[in-house]
Chains A and B, each alone.
Chain A
Amino acid sequence: MAALWTKISAVLPPSEEQFPLQFSDKVESSVVEMLRRSRQQLYVHTTKNSQILNAQIILDFSWEKLNMGTWRDVDKEWRRVYSYGCLFKAAALCQEDPSAEEILLAVKTCDMGLLMGAAIMEDILQVIVRILQGEVRKSAKEEKEREYPQVKRSKFEPPRVPVIKEEQAVPRIRCPSLESFNTNYLLPLRPVILEGIIDHWPALNQRPWSIEYLRSVAGCRTVPVEVGSRYTDEEWSQTLLTVNEYIDRYIEHKDGGKAVGYLAQHQLFDQIPELKEDIRLPDYCCLGEGEEDNITVNAWFGPGGTVSPLHQDPQQNFLAQVVGSKYIRLYSPEDSDKLYPHQSQLLHNTSQVEVENPDMDRFPKFAATPYLDCVLKPGEVLFIPVKHWHYVRSLELSFSVSFWWS
């Protein structure tokens, strides 16, 4: 695998002098010294272990800075330092004939930099992770074909599909014009399901999304996963897993466990550009005032039974369903007082009520509050107007893409 290091060094600056390391005063000079040492080690022969050690020192120090205070307060310079640490560690792992495990660790390291760091050297971590994924796929093909593991199918339990009553169903419309969507739904802030507007997505056509497809495109990549029934529960937590690990454990339940894990609210398409190629920005977003760059695109991938508690968001939302189906209920912001939002600063946009099993004694006004609901199926896009309360439960394996725009 000496060829791997050749590919990596080809994308690095040709010499130490041409390798930029500029930071503001916020970064202590002792840290800059460690960064300089790591940079030097790329161009002067040093042991792999020594390089990894130095890179880890940079990572540990900057990681502590990233965890001090709230994420918003973290100075971008420390995220850059963290990314440099990831770069040096990944580069070190790729030297001297790396094993398959080392290559996977290098991918994970790049992912940590992409998730927690800030772009450096023209997004070099993206460039490197693409090279590494190429190596991973190559060696996967070269390996003897693994026995295809028997996917444990749990006893088939049909999902609780709620009956949608027509008088409270979210209205549907097929391929409306920009003008008609604007007039009838955006301006009056009325929810609607748009049909036919994502039929052209490669994710539904040439490269249909499936478990196998996701494993092949992103299996070795590390992503954040929410563990626990809902984010308002005490046992709820977040963890980092590779896509393969997530699917093994929380979709296919290979370990026999029953815990719920949800790959939720993650900007997967920034992290894995190949997947971005499979979707398109809905044209209707141009009706907003915001810039296209400010549109947040999130992936929502999980098994049946994932629940997003009733909550509201500060932006308009197009929720596009690609795989599987979801039950969604919507309440108007005018009825907020009947939805008993949490008092705390952290959760004031979330209702205390369990929508499909409300506590009538604690929340008496809830039962009579009007709502709209639907079962959103593949190819459909739900328009959730800004501040509209929404509750989502997946009915089966599901992959949705949300677009938050203004």
Chain B
Amino acid sequence: MFVAVEMVDTVRIPPWNFQRQFNEAIAEELNKKLANKVVYQVGLCICLYDITKLEDSYIFPGDGASHTKVHFRYVVFHPFLDEILVGKIKYCSQEGVHVSLGFFDDIVIPPESLQQPAKFDEAEQVWVWEYETDEGAHDLYMDQGEEIRFRVTDEVFLDTSPTGPSAAATDTPAAPGAEDGGQKKEAPYTLLGTISEPGLGLLSWWNS
């Protein structure tokens, strides 16, 4: 689930932090920059693992702060392909079952990867597995809050960096600071999963 990623970055320590322990100041700056953020093509950064190398610090003209090139390792959430994970069902929609791990929410199990046959109950907004046995069909509901075991099949990284001025020209000038109702907030990192194998799906299906 987690990997250690080696990175290099230049860390700026402002003069009012000079009295602090250097390593602590560096660690705090790195965590401030990366914790709970998604790095494109890498994953969701959790916290600093360790600092491997500190190069010389420099002070540049016009800026009283010190700049140091730091080599460090960061703990990143990046499940490998086909890994088995256990999460909770957040909600169901036409797009599939949305699962959350608490610290990471953007996991979707699309309808074709559910245990077949499955149907979407519009009234209760929940996906149902129509499990056939000799006695007849059992409807197994995928309710909110239930623990679910799934396999990671794909990951999608989206570059959510701000676009240039040419895109902004199409927005109405009347609402520059308000929330743009037209644009959807894209998740920078999405996982796609499957539960169409024996042992996958709600934990309660396989425990009894």
| A and B: bona fide binding partners | no
